[in-house]
Amino acid sequence: MVAALHEARHQSSDPPTSSQLIVTTHSDTGGRPRVEIDPAFLSHALALRGPSHLRAVFGVSARTIRRRALDYGLVQPGVPVYTDMPQPDGTVVRSYTSTSPPVSPLSDDELDALLTSILRTFPNFGRRMIKGRLRAAGYRIPRDRIAASYLRVHASPGSFGARFIHRTPYHVAGANSLWHHDGQHGLIRFKIVIHAFVDGKSRYVTGIRASDNNRAETVLHVFRVAVARHGLPQSCTR
């Protein structure tokens, strides 16, 4: 065992006999150095992962991996984004090329039947989950068609139903025991800031004023006017 360890140590310290997988070369014209990747290793790596997943392995960007693969003929260049077609009348028509699969030719009834089957199995699925389930089944359906079919099959979403606001109950001893203060800044673009004080027992508005600023002395003035009219509260909170 000791002899095997010594042999392994000598083998690990020997210089590598194969060429490096990634080589950086500098050109005489200047600019950034060119990164060369071993073609055989790159071909094997691209068969397992895409450029985005291999960028951490090679230490370069995904665009550099894509360019080296094109230089070595490992992949085919993509189709142009658009093509200009001259017309007999002298005009030019630009046609765009789509790389995504075509939309599935499903009628509304067929789509409704698919959504009914999905919601029967997964009743809590939303639109995004339904879209993923359809794509996993090999169907590519636009988002607006899925939303329209969802409304036909599932009726209106729950967000449009009754919504209840649950407020935490609290109790105060009586009037002027506690005042609540808050400011409303929805009209700040028009230089209007509303400050108000509300009694915690009776919900009576003890003081309210619309001002053109949000300074502390402005709020203090509203509070003093309310105190002069309704008395001093035991405590005040925001």
- The pLDDT tens digits of the residues spanning 164-205 come to 777 788 788 889 999 999 999 999 889 999 999 999 999 999
pLDDT exceeds cutoff 80 at 71: yes
**Are 42 and 65 within 8 A, CB to CB?**
yes
Question: In whole angstroms, how far apart are CA 59 and each of 16, 23, 35, 52, 73?
Answer: 20, 12, 10, 11, 21
Structure confidence at residue 17 (pLDDT): 56
Which segments of the chain are extended strands (E)? 22-25, 34-37, 82-86, 92-96, 178-184, 193-199, 205-211, 235-237
What mean pLDDT do residues 84-106 have? 84
How many residues in the chain? Answer: 238
Assess contact for 176 and 231: CB atoms under 8 A: yes
Residue 18 has pLDDT above 60, yes or no: no
Query: What pLDDT, in 10s, does the model give residues 123-141?
Result: 888 889 999 999 999 899 9
pLDDT at 163 over 60: yes
Enter the tokens of residue 56: 């951490």
* Mean pLDDT over each residue of the chain, to the nearest integer: 85
Token pair for residue 177?
A: 């025991």
pTM attached to this predicted model: 0.37
* Half-sphere CA count of 213, side-chain side, radius 13 A: 8
Q: What is the pLDDT of residue 162?
A: 59
- Note the pLDDT of residue 12: 54
Query: What mean pLDDT comes out for the span 103-128?
Result: 90
Of 27, 20, 66, 13, the closest CA to residue 41 belongs to 20
Burial class (CB in 10 A: 0-12, 13-18, 19+), 22: middle
Question: What pLDDT shows up at residue 123?
Answer: 87
Using an 8 Å Cβ cutoff, are 187 and 194 in contact? yes
Q: What is the pLDDT of residue 215?
A: 93
All residues at 6 or more sequence positions from 200 whose CB lies less than 8 Å from its CB, including other chains: 170, 172, 177, 178, 179, 180
Residue 29 has pLDDT above 80, yes or no: no
pLDDT of 34: 83
Give residue 221's identity as a one-letter amino acid code.
Answer: H
Is the pLDDT at 14 greater than 60, yes or no? no
Question: In angstroms, rounded to a whole number, what is the distance separating the alpha carbons of residues 213 and 193?
Answer: 6
Predicted local confidence at residue 56, as pLDDT: 87
pLDDT value, residue 222:
95
